[in-house]
Amino acid sequence: MSGEQRSLPVPDGLEGERLDAALSRLFGFSRTRAAELIVSGDVLVDGTSAAKSDRVHAGAWLDVTLPPPPTALAPVAEPVPGMKILYEDADIVVVDKPIGVAAHPTVGWTGPTVIGGLLGAGHQVATSGAAERQGIVHRLDANTTGAMVVAKSEVAYSRLKRAFKERTVDKRYHALVQGHLDPLRGTVDAPIDRHPSGDGRFAVVAGGKPSVTHYDTIEAFRAASLLDIKLETGRTHQIRVHMSALRHPCVGDHLYGADPTLAERLGVTRQWLHALSLSFEHPTTGEWVTFTSDYPDDLARAVDLVRGES
């Protein structure tokens, strides 16, 4: 299926920009995606192909074949090994999400999902929201483990969505980060948005979405610190970005600058970050409920090792 053809002149404001950066700004996709289109021959400048690093000139004519919109994603209903149910009733199901499982299907993700795992094990979920995100009211990164709630009824979906939006849900995480924070207890209030590089990372960016993280040191080791973290907002990669911005990335979080030597020594193959507990007002009973998740084996082992070194 071929994409949409677009032809337009380079605006004056993009004079001298790299071609990949100009396309990114004109069409709103990442520089990586822009570079892929250029390399595949889907971009012509004044009728000829160009390199992604070529500088564009105002008035030059661009012919771009945009990729077709992604087809609707549907969750694959298959049980997910290691995904435990912490609690379930007619309105909600709380899962203990293992490593390597995304919340719901996304473009480019071919691994298991929480929604697919629930459907595959015979659990019903709410049908509100986009088809691939049925019942999803909040997310955890694929390699972040721990407690996650999914709505089963439509009323639970709407009330939980509102609770997360209005920040009345208490979300607690534990993170093992490199070094020692100063002060040992504090708040990071720094806006987050996509990293300018367009490589899938997020970053503290002026004008980004307001993001607030409260942290408290539970235990300080020689090489790392175990933190208790309360999220006030829930931006993508928020804890990972804020800890990296403080120059204390989560152990094993290579995407955000973690030391690979320390991670290898502790046997950590992903970011040391765990959604320890979720507390919220039950959407139909009104009762304040709390669900907790124990550390998985890889994270528990890493804490024992770093404690033994101290």
Model pLDDT for residues 25-38, shown as the tens digit of each residue: 888 878 888 898 99
End-to-end CA distance of the chain: 59
Structure tokens at 34: 């822009």
Indicate the pLDDT class of residue 2, thresholds 50, 70 and 90.
low
Q: Assess whether pLDDT exceeds 60 at residue 270.
A: yes
Pairing of strands 273-281, 145-151: parallel
Mean pLDDT of 121-143: 86
Among this protein's residues, is 193 annotated catalytic? no
User: How many other C-beta atoms lie within 10 A of the C-beta of residue 237?
Assistant: 22
Place of tokens 């995904």: 83
The Cα 192–Cα 208 span in angstroms is 5
Which residues are bridge partners to 291 per DSSP?
278
The Cα 163–Cα 283 span in angstroms is 9
**Which of 11-20, 46-55, 132-141, 258-267 has the lowest average pLDDT?**
132-141
pLDDT for the residue numbered 115: 94
- Three-state DSSP at 178 gives strand
Q: Assess whether pLDDT exceeds 60 at residue 306.
A: yes
**What's the pLDDT tens digit per position in 50-109?**
999 999 999 999 999 887 765 557 788 899 999 999 999 999 999 999 999 999 988 778
**Which of 18-22, 218-222, 271-275 has the lowest average pLDDT?**
18-22
**What's the pLDDT tens digit per position in 171-183?**
999 999 999 999 9
pLDDT for the residue numbered 1: 42
Q: Strand ranges (DSSP E) for 46-131?
A: 48-49, 61-66, 84-88, 92-97
Report CA torsion sign: 249, 254, 257, 259.
positive
pLDDT for the residue numbered 69: 63
Q: Assess whether pLDDT exceeds 50 at residue 201.
A: yes
What's the gap between Cα 161 and its chain centre?
17
Report CA torsion sign: 172, 177, 182, 184.
positive
The amino acid that residue 90 corresponds to is: A
Q: Which of 141, 193, 259, 298 is catalytic?
A: 141
pLDDT for the residue numbered 87: 97
Among 258, 249, 257, 265, residue whose Cα is nearest residue 304: 265
Place of tokens 């290691």: 82
Q: Strand ranges (DSSP E) for 108-208?
A: 145-151, 170-178, 185-189, 192-194, 202-204
Structure tokens at 255: 């995407």
Mean pLDDT of 285-306: 97
**What's the pLDDT tens digit per position in 248-260?**
999 999 999 999 9
User: CA neighbours within 13 Å on the CB side: how many for 155?
Assistant: 7
